Structure 1
Amino acid sequence: MRPYPPQFLVLLLSLVLLGGCVSQKSLPYLQSGKYSTQTPVTSENTRLTYRLQPSDVLSIRVQSVQPQLNDMFNTTDSRAMLNGDPGTLFLTGYSVDELGFINLPTVGRLKVQGMTVDEAQSVVQQGVAKYVRDANVLVKLLSFKITVLGEVRNPGRYFVYNAQCTVLEGLGLAGDLSEFGNRKNVKLIRQTANGSEVVLLDLTDSKLLSSSHFYLLPNDALYVEPMKARTNRGNATNLGLVFAGISTVALILNYIQSSK
């Protein structure tokens, strides 16, 4: 049995690897011929308003000239807020129960389900004003978390400490897409009252900036599909090992036969 010539193996591996190459045109985001370095291009977009639902966690801060009363409401550890520790924030925040209420000391139960964070802040402000004079109330959503999976550099769950978070910012938290991430087929999975909603996003299309799905909502998940080149590259590696093994066996057999 004659071994495969080295030139044959190199040619075969080269053909396989060509199938695993990623086109440069498929990598840039927001591709459009209207962009220029001279004139800024404005894209209008719709920012969805998030409304509170059960299991959300709120941070409620009360500020007044009566420190002892402030401490009664301010259960959130200020050091945890500065450090952004999600575990501590969840333990010390105010959870929205299954009926849509939060339970404040002295004030009692307040209905916040279906409200925006600003609307909930007004409700809490009115409740606290009955017990603390000239108090200033600040309400923030602590449970704004997103999940990023698939062909990104650092997949996982991330907490957002900003009222507005875009798809690009969410992917940035995960270290951006890998070379093999399919930028034309990113799935956005969103939880709604009727179940899970799945939307396909094309990151290479500049129309994404004006899409109603450009801004993320709490509990959103992004899944980046791998490109075919990812599979081809993996197959090329496996084939390379197979060819190397075959060539080695052929060389051994050839050596045995020639030594007889």
Structure 2
Amino acid sequence: MSHHSYIKVKKEGSVAKLYLNRPQQLNALHRAMVEEIVTALEHLDGDEEVRVIILLGKGKTFAAGADIDEMMEADPIQLEQLNQFAVWDRIRLIKKPLLAAVHGVALGGGFELALHCDLIFAAADARFGFPEVKLGVMPGAGGTQYLTKAVGKHRALQWLWSGEMLEATLLWQAGLIVRLFPEQELEQEVTIYAQRLASQAPLALRLIKEAVNKAQDLPLVEGMAWERKNFYLLFASQDQKEGMRAFKAKRSPRFTGR
């Protein structure tokens, strides 16, 4: 894997871990770092050995927002021409399961990065928030959209308007975080979950992810059509034959992603 300036990538069998690696800056995201994260995710998405990807933060925290210095003097036309959030849109195109393991804080862009993942796991004492409103701005990399789709209009407005730090337990109750673990066990527990996921049929995981994402964005009838098409498509795979034969023979299936 190529040399990275702001991240670290580690492969453990079929699970890949991507660490945000600017611990001195509390993993604050700047444009070059986001570009590096997304490019690495795309590389892992195309890597045959990798079945599940985990995003984590090195040091004390997951990611404490964006780099303010980079934006302070910007004007609207510069931002429009720079189109800095287009790179974030590529995260949605990652086909493999993408898990976030959040400890410390995930603020602003850090929270948005977690929201771009398929599932968020967190340390029990982790905190989340969108403090942008306190700087006279608002989230721009999907925060208002992802949060609203995840927790509904009223909670989203309350949290975005206040800009306050939110306890992980509150977000767990709202269904945004799937599991809470003690911080010292977080990486190990998420890795165990990822390994279990990595033993499932990769094509089924991929088409389930696509169908679920369609369910969030499409009217029911159109979403159902996607589900049906993906269901049919899986019957062209060797893994479907293997899975059903293994079931009949009462043995464990060996899925190859073919």
**TM-score interval (norm. to shorter):** under 0.3
* Higher Cα radius of gyration: 1
Q: Which has the higher contact order (CA 8 A, sep 6+)?
A: 1
Task: Report which of the two has the higher share of strand.
Answer: 1
Task: Report which of the two has the higher share of helix.
Answer: 2
TM-score normalized by the length of structure 2:
0.20
